[in-house]
Each structure stands twice: as structure tokens, then as C-alpha cells.
Homo-oligomer: A and B are copies of this chain.
């Protein structure tokens, strides 16, 4: 019988076969990779290739994949992409909103085409045949080129990307930090402009955390706006909390483009669980009213995040926006985590752990943390589950009441919340143990867009030694902060809106970025 190690080697060899097809061959990668990988591609590309890079050409995208400096790929689809490009080139005229655009995708989503294998980064599924999903069929129908499938962590439930099957995906800015997770293959690839637009998925931060950690844009819509039909994952059929796909990209405008094109396909006609709301751009008829969540009442953000908030707030005020505080004390974000973490694993993680154990797929520390070390996680009876869903709904209703009350003083309800995307910049490996700044919005099913703001500056972002952590988690997070370790790492922030107000969130982000002097 094939051992787990043999399965891993076979899967990686399959990947090598794809990577080996890249033409022309690349050379010049140093044996010892530097801490920062961002300059690698320009050091091994020709002047002409660099020119193409700057023009965002697909050639550059495919080439850079070969460097493998962050280990972000599960599969390079060289033959399929070339065939697709030729097919598109042969069409009498360009056809489709994404004509010729290369789009990278998170591997477990599956893919149009034949002989697709989806591992979802577990050894058990190393040969699992899979096929198309509704979302990617629609993108395909709009003329895109699929060419690379990216890594996700074991169980797809870490805010870091590591698995026994594919290894670890590093942050291109700093190999000592994670590229985030679970869509960490996407974030690493896009950060290096190995892709301009990718599709991630998010159930607790898995689009937004990796986007923030590499300084790109990422958007998590409310669930049931974009279809997940056809994806492969654990616990298929669970409906206590849903994941959603969403764009990850170097370009803010690409997020809206993706949403608009996807919804123009009326996905609800194929997947009737989707809410049939066409994309309807939002227009504000008065200055934006922004609430700022300086912290969530559980874990204090690191200094660079607080500085980023201050900088954005200053720009928004200068632009005439109304800025108020979003005070989380009394809103019990801790409870939000207790509920959602239990809802992730209604069977106490049994199915997932069985899947790992059955294939000798060693349970990794962050898997252990998110399942076995959360006191909230239990194998529930149906009645236990109902009680928890009831609490979830009560929590959501109470949060809505708080938001409604923001209109009491002046009749102008808060439009969006500006908040951290994480407690800090990209986390050191194996330390991603606080999800609250993203998972809270999954718990509420609010859309959230992450955008790059600044980078860690050791001289500005000094550690506040006088701060007294308010609980154990806070202590753990504060202890992680070290200006030198994080120096140069990107810092992103997040704009959050009420449920199913995707258009409003992206419109608000545009205004905020304009206030920041961006186009």
C-alpha cells in the first residue's frame, strides 16, 4: 500500500510536470532564497520580460510561477492555458468580459475541464476527481484563461497556509511571516504579480487576512451572493456558517468588475440558493459616515495597525467625511468567536479529523488549535445545534440594533465600519491564533473589503511597553509584536458594511481611497 509520504511525493511530482512545461526555461534562482522574494522575479527575467511584467502581461504571469519562491501553487495548467489562449486568439473577435484574462484560483474550488484532481490539501484526496463549479463555468464563459491553482492549508481552516501535502506557503515580503490563509497561495502569487486577479474563499478571514498580509485587495461578499456550488471541502452540506468566494487582486477596480460580471451571469438560475440580487452600483447622496473600530474589545491591534487607522481617518476627515467611533465594549466580540468557532465544527471536527487520520495526514498545530483547543467546539446533538443557531441569530439581531441606533442622533446611519483586517501585519509562522478581526464579520455575514494602507516602519511603530493586556489572548498577541521582525511588512485595513450591501462597501472604499489621494 502506498504510504502517506509516497502520496505526497506523487502529488508533488505531478505538480513538477506542470511546472516543467514553462517555456522558455528559467534559470538564475539562487540556491538560498532571500528573506524578501519580491525582487527575485525581476532579477531572473530579461529586460523584455520586465517590460511585460510592468504591462501586466500573461507571459510574465506564467513565467514567474516557475520561480516557486513562495510555494504558492498546487497546479500549473500550462497545456490547458496555452490551448485556451490559442482558442481565444482564433476567435473571429474578442468575446466575453474577461476575454483572455488569466485568473488564478484556489485549488479546492475545482475547475472546468477534464481530468481535474482536487486535493483540498489533504492526503486523503490526492487522487480525488473533480470537475467544474458554477462560478468558474461562468468566468470561463466570459473568456478568461485558467492557468494556476493555488494552495490552501490543511482543513482550509488556518489563517496561514501549510499542509503536509504541499508544504508551507511563505510571505513574499518576508519568509519568516505567513502569506496568510486559507487563500495564502493566491495572496503570495498575486503579491508577486504572478496573477493580477485570483479567486479566494472566506469563512473566517481566508480572503481578507492573506490579502492584508501581502498588501493587495481582497473582498469577501456576504454569503449567498456568489455561488460555491461544485466546490470540494469538508462537511459538505453544513449550513451553520457558509463560506463565500471573492476576488483577490492588485487593483481595487477589479473587485467591482468581478462582482459585476459574476452577477450578470445570474448565478441564481443555476444555484437557487443564491440571492437573486443583480449588481446595482451604490451612489452616496451625502458625505460618507464612517465608524472606526479602533479595537474589538478583546485583542488590541499592534501599533502599525493603529497608525494605519489614524492615517486613513485623518484623510477621511480632511475629505469632509463624518467619522465616529465604533465602540465594541458591550458588543461582546468574544462571544461572537465562541459561537462561530462552534458553528465551524458542529460534529466537533470528527469528519475532518477522520479524513486526516485515515490517510496518516498528521494533524498540524493550527488544525489542532482551531478544532481541539477551542472549548466551544463540540460534537453536538441537533438540539444543541438549534440552541447555538438561535444564539447566533440573536447576536446578529442585537448587532443590527446597534447599527440602527447610529442614526438616532442625526438621522444618518453609519454607512460602513473602518476596522483592522488583522491585529497586525503578517503573522510569524504558526502564530495565527486570533481570527476576531475577520471572523466576526463572517459571524454577522457582513461584506468586508481589505485594502493596502502602509507598511510597518520600526521607527514609527514602536512597541507600547506601558500597555496592560486585558486577557490571555491579548497577552499572546501583544507578545508577538516586534518592530524589527515586522519591518517592511504590508498593513491592510478593512471596510465593512451591513449584510448584502456589497455595492455600498466597494463604493465607500473608492471614496476612502480617493480621500487617501489614490485614483
Asked if A269 and B400 sit within 8 Å, CB to CB, the answer is yes
A472 within 8 A of partner (CB): no
Neighbour of A229 across the interface among B382, B385, B397, CB < 8 A: B397
A347 within 8 A of partner (CB): yes
A474 within 8 A of partner (CB): no
A56 within 8 A of partner (CB): no
Q: How many copies does the complex hold?
A: 2
Asked if B272 and A383 sit within 8 Å, CB to CB, the answer is no
- A350 nearest CB across to chain B (Å): 7
The count of residues in chain A whose C-beta lies closer than 8 Å to any C-beta of chain B is 45
A286 within 8 A of partner (CB): no
Q: Which residue, A277, A393, A501, has most C-beta atoms of chain B within 10 A?
A: A393
Neighbour of A382 across the interface among B271, B347, B501, CB < 8 A: B347
Asked if B383 and A382 sit within 8 Å, CB to CB, the answer is no
- A338 nearest CB across to chain B (Å): 16
Residues A237 and B445 in contact in the complex (CB < 8 Å), given A383-B347, A383-B350, A499-B276:
no
A390 within 8 A of partner (CB): yes
CA distance A400 to B277 in the complex (A): 17
CA distance A29 to B99 in the complex (A): 78
Binding site for B on A (CB under 8 A): 229, 235-240, 268-273, 275-277, 346-347, 350-351, 379-383, 385-391, 393, 396-397, 399-401, 404, 444-445, 498-501
Q: Which residue of B lies closest to A346 (CB)?
A: B382
- A399 nearest CB across to chain B (Å): 8
CA distance A239 to B238 in the complex (A): 11
Asked if B499 and A445 sit within 8 Å, CB to CB, the answer is no
- A61 nearest CB across to chain B (Å): 33
Asked if B272 and A396 sit within 8 Å, CB to CB, the answer is yes
Asked if A272 and B400 sit within 8 Å, CB to CB, the answer is yes
Q: Which residue of B lies closest to A392 (CB)?
A: B237
Asked if B237 and A397 sit within 8 Å, CB to CB, the answer is no
Neighbour of A379 across the interface among B277, B382, B500, B501, CB < 8 A: B382
Asked if B272 and A498 sit within 8 Å, CB to CB, the answer is yes
